[in-house]
Chains A and B, each alone.
Chain A
């Protein structure tokens, strides 16, 4: 029975792509200051990909990474200086590898784009360090080459380190691969195997002498052992036939087939027992265990059998181990509560009623917490999207001959995975635009008295139940006059139309609009901003542009958090409970102590420091039916959103809690002043207030009032 290797392909691809991301990030850091640890990390990632691809016989990838690794090895040893040229080359090869992996995943033809890079690598390697041109491996592996025309069988002495199984390597698999080359004899050396009592299942005590009758080159054999070359003593040589034959009979032997069936049986047993037997050797062939440095656990969204392997990759997410630990804790609590209730149910009488009630409420609590933390697993820090931008900024700025410093803030802001997947492209577009059109060339900046290095800031934070992502540049800004002319040119607006300044800027997001004087390679074909706008609108979000000529441009993306979590302050108005985003609250004062004045006839305002803040009575604003209350009862909550402050008149402040935001729009309409809803501890729905919306309502009503008066 052959183990189907393809079932591990998915894991390999995921890990490889992650490895590439790591490499890319580390390479970018490499420029700033060359640290040996950086290079080591890159090396490890490359090594894992090489080993993995060799295991799965993705030969092109393995070959390619091998050359890459050789170069990295030189850097690690310090024999090759870290230059921008080398980093560029390595970054290019990361791209190339990514492409190769993608094509392999889709089972497409590899193409030959990588050949060119390999040649370039070889040139670079041979040019400066010719003795290292061949495998770096050769120094670590003891080799005794003999003449290839000698057709006697290969003898291979393979003495793995005891921890070899823990690294995810399975000698059996390698032997089987060797067998594919020709007749293979396997002799296992069991001398070091201890007594059964002392035997540790996860350690390998055996070594092997193999004899392979084949005409293959030594490289092919080495390739089989590529993955373990650092973890074993390996001797490969051509030897006299007679000698090997003689030895064979004297020693205890184990044929490959016999070993094969044995370990299959172990797997079968393991599966049947349904208990994870600790580190059975045969189970170790998952490459997953080979990356202990990553403190993350991969959670599979769906674990289908082996169907549809060839089609697109099944979605999976990586989740911080702390979130999974929380889940495990919660399940533990649930089990305890459940057994407590079960015991209670076995001999129940009315005297235990109170116990039952408290048990049930505990069960409810556990269940709800469990539900919430499962949902939290879908939330990922936005850093996942942000992290792919430094590379792009680096490439683009050098391509455009500009100097740009990228600042990233709020990477840990969490948002739902689905939202995140769709925000990547619009964000990339905005950053490209900012680099291409926003930030000026070095000469121009110096001319205008600015720092020659432009600044691009990416910022993310939660606000009023939204996630806000800002892309800020300190470039030339957008000239509304040029936009206006252009819009007239393109027939988007009638000449002479009077449009407010803010609206003029948003014209650049109309289809078919491009302001770049020269259509460059980077952006400016007029298909950018409208796509950005459409994508964001599709997510239920909005884009705002703010620009000061000569000072820079700020794009503000506001996205709803369909599943996001918010720190909420529960408030009570009449008999209704609402949630205020905690971040929006500035202060709260009892009405009796509040300094309230009436201005402009009938508008009540609260004096906050040097500012008059309009008061909104939520009961009136929301038309909540209520009994008349004392005017001085209750309190004012002063809240802020988008630089607008309002004072909400409420009855009571209740507790604070994290709430999971749910969309009202999934089955109903959006309501101005409400950003969403959540489900409280008792299972009831509570609405989350949107400060900006409330402020807009109030001011719009005021302007309607003015119109009526006028």
Chain B
């Protein structure tokens, strides 16, 4: 089926030019990063900043993917290790390990969460129409955490569902109460 192959190549070429364009009015910009051996991405507007890895302060009784809290210029921000969250087996903290501070909404409040990843990779543009659903075949990563898959430079990049990934309701922390909505 040569015509189908041609189609794929054309698609890829189109994407290549997309990713090379600095500003694309029709698509959105994404930040991609590496967790384990895979590449993931989030909408760049959800990224507040990227910090070098530092050991956060331990939180009592926390599930193992919650590494603790860190001091972000005076605010206390929780840190989640995505490799633990995605149940990957091997990980280490090295020079490329970073904490991406992501923004989310929780009961009408702006919340921040630090996410530990192995390395940041790239920033690229992508049209919404080129993001596909993740086939549901019982992946290791909880299906609620993924929002779609896209192709960058010929390899698959998983788009994360930050609403679920960062949701405090989905974090099972013993002895932790609900979040008090103060104002």
On A, residues with C-beta under 8 Å from B are 371, 538-540, 562, 576, 621-624, 662-674, 677, 679, 683-687, 697
Chain B contacts to A: CB under 8 angstroms: 56-61, 68-71, 74-78, 109, 111-113, 168, 171, 173, 175-183
The reply to whether A673 and B56 form a contact with Cβ atoms under 8 Å apart is no
Chain B residues whose CB sits within 8 angstroms of the CB of A669 once the complex forms: 168, 171, 173, 176-179
Q: Decide: A673 and B69 in contact? CB cutoff 8 A.
A: no
* Given A538-B182, A539-B182, A673-B60, 16 other A-B residues pairs in contact with their CB atoms under 8 A: A576-B58, A622-B58, A622-B61, A666-B109, A667-B75, A668-B69, A668-B168, A668-B176, A669-B171, A669-B178, A670-B176, A671-B177, A674-B60, A684-B57, A685-B71, A687-B57
Question: Which residues of chain A come closer than 8 Å to B112, judged between CB atoms?
Answer: 667
- 29 A-B Cβ contacts within 8 A? A540-B182, A576-B57, A622-B58, A622-B60, A623-B60, A623-B61, A662-B74, A662-B75, A662-B76, A665-B182, A666-B75, A667-B77, A667-B78, A667-B112, A669-B176, A669-B178, A669-B179, A671-B59, A672-B176, A672-B177, A673-B60, A674-B59, A677-B57, A684-B57, A685-B69, A685-B76, A686-B57, A687-B59, A697-B175
Q: Is the CB of A685 within 8 A of B56?
A: yes
The interface residues of chain A lying within 8 Å CB-to-CB of B60 are 621-624, 671, 673-674, 687
Contact A673/B57 with A662-B74, A665-B180, A685-B70 known, Cβ cut-off 8 Å: no
A671 and B61 CA atoms in complex are apart in Å by 9
Query: Complex: how many Å from CA A687 to CA B78?
Result: 13
Q: Find the residue from A621, A668, A686 having the highest chain B CB count within 10 A.
A: A668
Q: Which B residue's beta carbon lies closest to that of A625? A: B58
CB distance from B77 to the nearest CB of A (A): 5
Please tell me if the beta carbons of A562 and B182 are within 8 angstroms of each other in the complex. Answer: yes
Per DSSP, chain A at the interface is: loop
Flag if B58 contacts A673 (CB, 8 Å). Answer: no
A664: chain B residues at CB < 8 Å are: 69, 76
Q: Give chain B residues whose Cβ lies under 8 Å from the Cβ of A672.
A: 175-177
Interface centre among B58, B111, B176, B181 (most CB of A within 10 A): B58
Residues in chain B near residue A538, CB distance under 8 A? 181-183
Bound-state Cα–Cα, A683 to B76, Å: 11
A671 and B173 contact, Cβ closer than 8 Å, known pairs A684-B57, A687-B59:
yes
Distance A685 CA – B59 CA, assembled complex (angstroms) = 10
Q: Residue on A with the closest CB to B176?
A: A669
Q: Is the CB of B75 within 8 A of A684?
A: no
Residue ID in chain A nearest B173 by CB atoms: A669
Residue of B nearest to A683 (CB): B71
Query: Residue A540 contacts which of B56, B75, B175, B180 (CB distance < 8 angstroms)?
Result: B180
Q: How far is the CB of A363 from chain B (nearest CB, A)?
A: 16
- A258 and B177 alpha carbons, distance in the complex (Å): 72
Nearest A residue to B111 via CB reads A667
Most central of A666, A679, A697 by chain B CB within 10 Å: A666
CB pair B71 A670 closer than 8 Å: no
A621 to B58: give the CA distance in the assembly, Å. 13
Q: What chain A residues lie within 8 Å of B181 (beta carbons)?
A: 538
Partner of A684, one of B71, B78, B173: B71
Whether the Cβ atoms of B176 and A666 lie closer than 8 Å is: no
Q: With A and B bound together, what is the CA distance between A662 and B113 in angstroms?
A: 16
User: What separation, in Å, do the CA atoms of A663 and B76 have in the docked complex?
Assistant: 7
A667 to chain B, nearest CB (A): 5
Q: B175 and A671: CB pair below 8 A?
A: yes
